A = this chain, B = another copy of it.
Amino acid sequence: MSLLGRKVWAIAEGYIPAWSHGPAPQMISHEAVCILNPSDQDARVAITVYSENREPAGPYRFMVGARRTRHLRFNNFDDPEKIPPDTPYSSVIRSDVPVIVQHTGLDSRQAENALLSTIAFPGEE
């Protein structure tokens, strides 16, 4: 099982829509990173957020338990700082045990929602 996953991943796309339609929290516009840890060890995860015009922010730190998944919304990141809406960003995800990372989003700026989802890019380490 330990061969399934990688310790570093990148998501080049990132954009938190500035407004929403519909009931909270499900229909709030958001982008999320989904992290699966199928291993038998807890994973310590550190996420760095890159911008167009300034040095990277973070690391944002999370724990993903052994045999657990977490779906983390970038909108809710606040330590060490918030990610501004309506602004392009990218992210790099590092973990001390192999995990699987997928990127997902819900855009409800107009009356109906739109979805995106794509696997993150795995590093070779």
Q: How many copies of this chain sit in the oligomeric assembly? A: 4
Residues of B within 8 A of A10 (CB): 4-5, 36, 38, 100
User: Using an 8 Å CB-CB cutoff, how does the interface string of A89-122 with B read, 1 for contact, 0 for none?
Assistant: 1101000000111111111111111111111111
A35 within 8 A of B: yes
| Cross-chain contact A52 with B26 (CB below 8 angstroms) | no
| Cross-chain contact A71 with B38 (CB below 8 angstroms) | no
Max chain B CB contacts within 10 Å: which of A27, A50, A117?
A117
Tally of contact residues, A, Cβ under 8 A: 64
Task: Choose from B11, B71, B114 the contact partner of A114 (Cβ within 8 Å).
Answer: B114
| Cross-chain contact B86 with A69 (CB below 8 angstroms) | no
| Cross-chain contact A26 with B18 (CB below 8 angstroms) | yes
- A105 to B36 Cα, complex, angstroms: 19
